Amino acid sequence: MSVSGQIRVASLLVAAGLSGLSAPSPAQAAGPVPASSRQPAADYVYRIFAGKSADWGGGSYAYWDPKGTFYAVNSSEQSIGFGRWYATTAGRMCYEAHWVWKQDFGLKESEVKTCTRYRVDGAGDLWSTTGGMSGPWFPFGTDNLTAGDSVTAQFHAMHRDMGLPLSR
């Protein structure tokens, strides 16, 4: 997955262990926001991600520390991301990260803010989009997030291997 691919977001991530969250049916597909949906509370969105690691695929992983720190790694592309994350009262989860990746014979860097919007439909299914209210909206299931931190040790090892200063 490219750096831009891993930066594109949490709408592809999935929550684990959130009570009251049902898995979307296979018949649900991307489309407009369900008419019966409502904005979830910030603490609901926070609980989806806090203390969880996500497998973004292609060797790319992320971790949302409960204290608001965000870590990401992609071992296959030699890239890392570090910053802060938060849930908003507008039903969004955002992360602001400093991304660093190896390119040619040096390092490239970028600052990126990504926000994913969430809605809960009348059946209790969670939907997400990185676009506006017009979507497209995608079902948000429970498969790719796991409790615990499986990312920061690899982040620190890659950070050290890149020769970056300790402040990052």
The answer for 137, left when phi > 0, alpha when psi is -120 to 50, beta otherwise, is beta
DSSP string, 18-43: -TTPBPPPTT--SBSPPTT-BPPPHH
Question: Is the whole model's pTM more than 0.85, yes or no?
Answer: no
Q: Helix, strand or coil for residue 45?
A: helix
What digits encode the pLDDT tens for the residues 95-153? 999 999 988 888 999 999 999 999 999 888 899 999 888 889 999 876 889 999 999 99
Residues with Cβ within 8 Å of residue 35, at least 6 apart in sequence: none
Would you say residue 25 has pLDDT above 90? no
What digits encode the pLDDT tens for the residues 28-66? 566 787 788 999 999 999 999 999 999 989 999 999 999
Distance CA 25, CA 69 (A): 32
What percent of the chain has pLDDT above 70?
80
**Two tokens, residue 51:** 């203390």
Residues recorded for the chain: 168
Distance CA 127, CA 152 (A): 28
Distance CA 87, CA 46 (A): 5
What pLDDT shows up at residue 141? 76
What digits encode the pLDDT tens for the residues 64-106? 999 999 999 999 888 999 999 999 999 999 999 999 998 888 8
Distance CA 60, CA 75 (A): 7
What pLDDT shows up at residue 134? 85
Evaluate whether 88 touches 68 at the Cβ level (below 8 Å).
Answer: no
First to last CA, the chain: 23
Please list the residues that pair with 120 across neighbouring strands.
Answer: 38, 126
* Between residues 12 and 116, the one the model is more confident about: 116
What pLDDT shows up at residue 167? 55
Q: Helix, strand or coil for residue 116?
A: strand
